[in-house]
Structures are given as C-alpha cells and as structure tokens.
Structure 1
C-alpha cells in the first residue's frame, strides 16, 4: 500500500514538476562535465609527467591516497572556510575529488606501455613526438579511460553532496526530501543519480572494450 502511494506521488511530481526536474538533471550533468573537463586538463599532463619522473609520480600517488581516506562530504565542508559556497567552490572541491583516479590511472597507463613497442617505433624512424602520439597514447588509452570513468562516477556522486554548498543539481531533491520528511523527493533524486552513474559506467566500459580491441588488432607483435 505504501509502495503504491509512493509511486503515485512520484507520478504526480513528474506531472506537475517535470520542468524543474529536468533543470536539476541539467545542472547535475553540466557540473559533472565541466568538472571532468577541468580535472582532465590538470591530471592528464601531470600524469604523463609522473610516468617520466619518479618524484612527480610519488607526489601524485601520495596525493591520491590522502584524498581517498577523506570522505567527500568532509572535504567539501573543510573547503568552505577557504572558498565559500556556490558553483565555483563546488567546482574546485569536485575537481580535487576527481584528480586521484585520473592521476593514478594515467601514470599506470603510460608505465604499462612495453618498451618493445617504443623500440620498434624508433627503428621505424619515429621521433619522440610521433612515439607519444602513435604508440604511447593509444596503448595507455584504456587505462586513462578507466580513470576517466572512475572520476566521472565520483563526480556524479559527490555533486549530490555539493548541493550543500550551493551547487544545485539532483542533490537538491534529496536534501529537500530529507528536510520535508518526504521520501518522494529522496527516491527521485537518488534513483536519478544512480541511473546517471550506471549510464556513465556502461558507456565507458563499452568504449574501453572498443579501444582494447583496436589496440590488440593494431599493436600485436
């Protein structure tokens, strides 16, 4: 009976507030994509440098390990005194949370490229830029994409908590529901976040398999 009532309330919400719902979804996706783009611009060059420099690699790994033991919500609240609240502070906090998987997987990806491929490329007359573009990046790409996938799922989940510092998005529904003791909002928000996370994971898993198949076809020795 309670389940039927909840379903009716959810249907009623979409009948009367569908515009508001899609606005929250749009805010959540926009915040996720902007955060991911900024994180990649920072992490990918730094990760590549880390694969070439042990000091940078050790710093990146230590940074990632420290962030992994700090809960997302705790980090957001710790940053409030320094960066305030709103979209920009939320972006900064989410970028910090997204960096560890991107950094670690980028370093791992480039380190996993076999020297044999580089030797073959050098024997064919490739310079360092050609080796990087035609051999290193394609072979490291599955690892990098896995890092992007993990970062994106982290951002989608943490963007829900970022509602606390004025970021908007689907977290607004969840915290509104908690404040009103109305499970309708909580269920709609939580299920929507879960669906976004699932779509991100399955899309990247498919892309990673395609890239790996391409690598096996073109780089088998």
Structure 2
C-alpha cells in the first residue's frame, strides 16, 4: 500500500510521540522519582541530625551529672555498712565490743543468713500533753498564718507521698554478753555516732542490772549496702 505525504507525516508524528513517551517513562519519570525520594531522605536525615544534636547537647554534661549523683549516693551509702560475708560482719561487731569504754564480752554469737528488709519512712508524732494555756498560746502565735501553715502541711504531705519504702540487705545477730552497765550504754551511744549508723539494737534483755557486771542477750540488725564503684576511676 502506497502512503501519501499526509499519512507519512502522521506516522512520523506518532512515532516521535511514542519515542518521547517511552523516553519519559523509561528515563525521566524514574529520575524524578529518585529525586523526590532523595529529597525525602534528606529531610528525614536533617530531622535525625537535629535529634542527635539535641541529644548530644543534653549529654554533654552527663559525666558531671553522673559524678554528682555518685557523690550524693555515696554520702547516703556512707551511713551503711558495706556488704560483706557473714564472718566479717561478726568481726565488725567484735571490734565495736572491744572499744576501750565499751569492753563487752560475748559468750555466744550467732548470725543469720544474709537477707533483705524493707526500710519504711516514718514521721515522729509527739505524745506530749498540752495544757489549755499552751493551746491558747499556740492559737495566738499561729493567728494570721493559717494559710501558710496549710501550705506547709500540703508541701510536707506531697514530700512524704514521694517517699517510698526501700529494700536493703541485712544480717541479724543474736548475742549473749556480759558487760558493765556503763559499757553497754557507751556501746549503744556509739551506734549513733559511728561513721556507719546502720547497726540497730532490735531488742535487749539485761539481767542483774543493779550489779557492777551485767549479763544479758540482744539482737542486732546490721544493714548493709554494696558500695558503687567511682565512675571517675573507670
């Protein structure tokens, strides 16, 4: 079939259009899609970079914050005996008994297995009796400060609410002993003034209290904490 000039022109135009469309679909469109994806990836990377920079800014003082927390924690932990095996705990008690103004002799000492106890915060409430006159004086002194007192009470309540019980390790020691009464009193007083203040007389039974030498039994609770390693040393 012989094509005239018009038909040939139409075929050429159609062919060119097909080539253009095919080129667009095969080359241009994928390039546009890749560009769009690269732009999206770039924006995502910028957001991630911003988040990382914020984290870096937050963490730049992390070492100092860790050291500060370690220091404050160590100050609290200093009131407790370091975690130790049972025989070392009994040795520590013997050291406290051997102080010059104490000199307690134990005839028998047994120690429990290492266990845990719950330390619960508490608030001291005075049981002192107030007279009517004392009450009137308190009312006069507190006049006009009701709101302030209420605010203080609320703050204290909130603070107490934030306090939680803590579980801590301990040993319980049952001891038969002989001592002078003054020596035993000194031992009890020393428990509140020693560097570690976490040894507590749970109960005590003293015989012949009016004699120069007393004898009896007591139970000591020795609360211990495993001390943390200094982060600055690592």
What TM-score, normalized by structure 1, do the two folds share? 0.22
What TM-score, normalized by structure 2, do the two folds share? 0.21
Q: Of the two, which has the highest radius of gyration?
A: 2
Higher helix proportion (structure 1 or 2) = 1
Higher strand proportion (structure 1 or 2) = 2
